[in-house]
Structure formats: structure tokens, C-alpha cells
Amino acid sequence: MIAKGNATIGLETRFGPNWPGVRCGAKTRSGGKCQRPAVKQTGRCTRHGGKSTGPRAQAGRDKIAALHTTHGRLTKEKREASKSVGVDADLTMFATNRKKTTAAN
């Protein structure tokens, strides 16, 4: 059991040479094998192709955007339209309040 303030318990088996888990194994620049823990799906660590960083090409980004747009409430056009409605409402409210204050004086 690891105590809160004692991080040395289990340190020799955490990711040391006797760690029983799967290693990355990619060839390093020094010629050896990478010793970092592997991601389950690919068998490589996050530095050697084990984790996707997302689409790079515009076609891939468009595909992801289409997949994530499910209801259309938060599209760019709708956000811009709601901003303009809010500005119009603020201006109307400001004009109404101004008329009330000038009429009271």
C-alpha cells in the first residue's frame, strides 16, 4: 500500500527493469529499445505512435466537424445570429431606459 507522503513504496516495480507490463520497444536514437509503457491498442508508447493527435488535413478536420455536429444549435451561423439579436435587444433596452429617465426629469 502506498502511503500519501511515501512515494518510494513500490518504486522498484513501478516501471523499473522488473516491471511485468508491456514495453514500447521502438528503436531509440541510441540504438536500444524504448522502455516506456505501451498503449494497449498499438503496442507503442505515446511518443512512438500510441496516441493520435487528431486530423492534420482539412478533409479530416471537416469530417470530424461533421461527425460532431449533431443538432445544429451551436453552429457558427446560429451563434452569430444570436449575438446580433442580443445586441439589438441591449440597444432597445438602453433606449427604453433612457426615455424613462429623461421623462422622469
pLDDT of residue 42: 80
Digits of tens for pLDDT over the chain (105 positions)?
455 566 666 666 667 777 788 889 899 889 999 988 888 878 888 888 877 778 889 999 899 888 877 776 677 787 788 777 766 666 666 666 666 666 666
pLDDT of residue 75: 75
pLDDT of residue 58: 93
pLDDT of residue 64: 86
DSSP codes of every residue in the chain: ---TT-TTTTHHHHSSTT--S-B--PBPTTSSB--SBPPTTTSS-GGGTSS-----SHHHHHHHHHHH-SSSTT-HHHHHHHHHHHHHHHHHHHHHHHHHHHHH-
Q: Is the pTM of this model over 0.85?
A: no
